[in-house]
Structure 1
């Protein structure tokens, strides 16, 4: 399978790429600074590195990049700096999601392409009646006002839910919602839930970035797992951090 990964140079995106390469997929990555990538990637015949800012690519370039891909995964996020949080592009994740989906649709694929978006437990799945405390609603409302990346994550998932929807001929999607991200070297046991089982604000759990990458790669590889979660926003926790 050929898979495009954007946000591949990030802490979680790099884990996803490693899992996909281990599974012997053909992987394309779009990165702004290829010199920062692991040396092993640059000599891997199954990896194609495209040096570009994703939002600077033309529609034709995007069309060509996704043309032979059976799956697209986005681990894009905002850098945790003043410029990354409050500078432009403020809608990086949303705009990239929209442009990638438009590129997929422009190719008129015969079978739907898998689109996996890394999102956050701070974003509710508004297709479901997910219970949220009044206090958490107040905090989320404040985050929408002061943290543009939070709004970006919400709008990216909403685009998939409302614009792509459940019955698109060209795209099927899953938005993976990790809780508090931590760094661990090895994949450990983790659990997947339809909705959060704890408050993302007041009682957050934890999940390793490598576990998130493993689950995203498994979604892409395992058609049975994909059928279970497509069109949904599963939440992932590491088992050692579940109470």
Structure 2
């Protein structure tokens, strides 16, 4: 009981101290934690839009270097026609896919409260199951899209225009190996609903800060293969 009371007292004291600090422009912070929702809209008409949870964070090593990582899980659904004995069948994809990345970044101040940055990361995309059905949607077989990995690079700028508003833009390139696809244990040709997983996108970012480290962050990623939107809460430290 005494230990719990002591912890609560220390937490309340720290919060009170932060609340009493003036809210000056904190500039660009590379130490933060985000949690929110991600919505993915594939350009391929065979795939449906998907929404899921996302967590990501970054930590400063020194004034110019930082490390970062992220994880998200998004529902992936879709269907396409495949050849089958005596006619055609439907391949139906309905699963959750995990995406994980971890990397290192270099950030260079170029003006007051403005940083240029470059990041590289290891990327891994989780596997997904699908089924082969007759036109009447009677299951006749099952399949799997294996996990795949690769690398990404990103070049951009972030700027804290006011104590409460920050924005940025970047160009991001992700290159992943084509995953293996198996049906009933046999490797198949790459499904037409899934394209090459190497893509270049434009990223727009904004954050509104309430003070004491907390804020709301939004990020949009636009490419020829998909569009992504992330909205969540950020704690900078």
Q: What TM-score do the two structures reach when normalised by structure 1? A: 0.24
**Greater helix fraction, Structure 1 or Structure 2:** 1
**Greater strand fraction, Structure 1 or Structure 2:** 2
Q: What TM-score do the two structures reach when normalised by structure 2? A: 0.25
Structure with greater contact order relative to length (CA < 8 Å, sep ≥ 6): 1
